[in-house]
Amino acid sequence: MLVMETSKWVLGEEHPDSLSSMHTLAMMYHTQGRWNEAKELLMVVIEVRKRVLGEKHPNSLTTMTNLVVTYRHQGRWKQAEELERLHGEVHPDSLMSMANLASMYCHQGQWKEAKELEVHVMKMNKWLHGKVHPNSLKSKTNLVAMYSCQGQFKQADELEVHVMKMNKWLHGNGHPDSLNSMKNLAVTYFNLGWWKEAA
């Protein structure tokens, strides 16, 4: 709060550093479940960034994506859907910020929120890039990791087999992505007690 107020007073509200500190504080509120405070700050940041940088600037899109997530947590589905339609959350930068937020939820044990975001990112990447694009496969790998963290190895197995096959088809057997997906699948087999398959 102090950093934000000082930046606004010294540099002005429209300065990138002021907007960055406001956005950081909003995300801190978001993490604490203080949705109304997060929403109010994000709306200010969005309006200023749209005016100064334009609607399609990556910073504007990222802030809008975070506001969509905040609306979802408040149960304000209509506003979330309207904002998504208006500003196109399928922008790669927006999807990346959503994936990062999902990872943060996963590390905090907020599995429901993490899964909703990961599934959404996976669907949007598939729609935007196609099934075998590296971004699509990466989002599936992220969802697999989340399932594994929760001990949901059956769900992880189904996705991992698909990711492994696609990586091998796309890159070949010796590519790092292919080898990594094979290793992940072996670990899942081990956790399921399927020793022969893991070996």
Predicted local distance difference test score (pLDDT) of residue 3: 47
C-alpha 129, offset from chain centre: 16
CATH classification of the domain holding 172 = 1.25.40.10
Residues 126 and 162 in one domain: yes
Phi, psi of 167 (to 5 degrees): -65, -40
Q: At what angle do helices 153-171 and 176-192 cross, to 10 degrees?
A: 160
Q: Same domain, yes or no, for 84 and 1?
A: yes
Q: Look up the pTM and report it.
A: 0.49
The predicted-structure confidence for 38-52, as pLDDT tens digits, reads as follows 878 887 887 887 777
Considering the domain architecture, whether residues 80 and 158 belong to the same structural domain is answered as no
- Token pair in block for residue 180: 């990594």
How many H-runs (helices) and E-runs (strands) does the chain carry? 11, 0
Give me the residues of the chain with pLDDT under 70, please: 1-15, 55-62, 81, 83-94, 97, 128
DSSP sequence for 67-90: HHHHHHHTT-HHHHHHHHHHHTTT
Structure tokens at 100: 């990062």
